[in-house]
Structure 1
Amino acid sequence: MTTTTTDGWPTLAELARHESELVLPALTERSAYDLGRRAADAAWADELPVVVGIWRGQHQLFHSALPGSTADNDAWLQRKGRVVTRFEHSSLYMGQLCRDLGTTLAEKFLLPAEEYAAAGGAFPLRTHDSGVVGWIGVSGLPQRADHDFVVRVLREHLDSPQG
């Protein structure tokens, strides 16, 4: 099975597989802290200039800004998170959908680019009982690297005793 498009982007099927596999048992304040801390610790270890955020609904449960990140990264994170909240897919999935269709999120869905960014880095947080309940996001790297970082951290979290 091909997991990337001819131009190197992940396929929609691959991105959907990430979303269906990475499901949390619950999203509590404690689990958000554990997941957020895992992401922040991994970013510190790799000296990544990112911001990390976790939301449950409209409530931000975790935020960390690492050296080299800026307020612009927070703004990008919010724009990517609005995409996840609206479509219940990762921001990279929605960007790939638009690329596949030869359009943009603004053109296809009439959403202002100032508020919505279909760029990788925000990922839906699903639970077994409730579906999408929130999202996790990272901003500060190229968009595919942001997405890959979130997927890696979620996998590590789910494989840990806290997950």
Structure 2
Amino acid sequence: MTESRAELEQLLEQIEHEERTLWFDGFGHDEAWKLGRTIRRLARERELGVAIQVRLGEQLVFHSALPGSTADNDDWIARKIRTTSRFATSSLAIRVRHDLNGGFGWLDPALYAISGGCVPLRVAGAIVGTATVSGLADAKDHALVIEAVTSLQG
């Protein structure tokens, strides 16, 4: 990526703030479906060629592939989810930490994506699912998920 060290540190601080504050009171199948539809609506309004998945635990509850997305986006989603699940943080946080510290090079790129777009969904601090977007620059994938989560909380 082309961000400066200061920009990366600021982005990591923002992500950590999001993960401390963007929690749901409860999150089940209906909330997962509503979140997926919200992300899809935002993407369609902006004519974004993305694929979207929302999971409750390991269960796929919502999937949508918009025009311009490909099967490669589904592969990216699977690898972003594995990254978020392994490290219990957003895949963008892992990418930023990688860029800051040069770590995580040992992860098998066929299984894990060091790329933003997967956000853990939390209830009372516990991760209960994930919401993932693929198709844009990774920080924009992440931002689209965060925008939808924020809109459902407001």
User: What is the TM-score of this pair, normalised by structure 2?
Assistant: 0.92
Q: Does 1:158 align with 2:153?
A: yes
* Residue aligned with 1:68, SS: coil
| Identical amino acids, percent of aligned pairs | 34
- CA shift for structure 1 position 21: 1.3
> Which residue does 1:65 correspond to in 2?
65
**Paired letter, 2:147:** R
2:118 alignment partner, one of 96, 115, 122:
122
> Which residue does 1:92 correspond to in 2?
92
- 1 CA distance for matches of 2:15 and 2:28? 25
**Paired letter, 1:69:** S
> Which residue does 2:46 correspond to in 1?
46
Note the alpha carbon deviations across 1:95-116, whole angstroms, 9 max, x for none.
111111123x2x2xx3211110
For the 8 Å contact 2:24–2:123, the answer to whether it is kept is yes
- 2 CA distance for matches of 1:91 and 1:13? 14
- 2 CA distance for matches of 1:62 and 1:27? 14
Tell me, which stretches of 5 or more residues in structure 2 are unaligned? none
RMSD between aligned residues:
1.6
* Residue aligned with 1:155, SS: helix
| 1:25-40 correspondence runs (5 A) | 25-40=25-40
- CA shift for structure 1 position 31: 0.6
- 2 CA distance for matches of 1:19 and 1:127? 11
- 1 CA distance for matches of 2:53 and 2:35? 10
> Which residue does 1:19 correspond to in 2?
19
- CA shift for structure 1 position 5: 5.0
> Which residue does 2:82 correspond to in 1?
82
- CA shift for structure 1 position 7: 6.2
* Residue aligned with 1:69, SS: coil
Note the alpha carbon deviations across 1:102-139, whole angstroms, 9 max, x for none.
23x2x2xx3211110120100000012x6011100000
**Paired letter, 1:118:** I
* Residue aligned with 1:111, SS: coil
User: What is the TM-score of this pair, normalised by structure 1?
Assistant: 0.87
For the 8 Å contact 2:5–2:100, the answer to whether it is kept is no
- 1 CA distance for matches of 2:113 and 2:31? 27
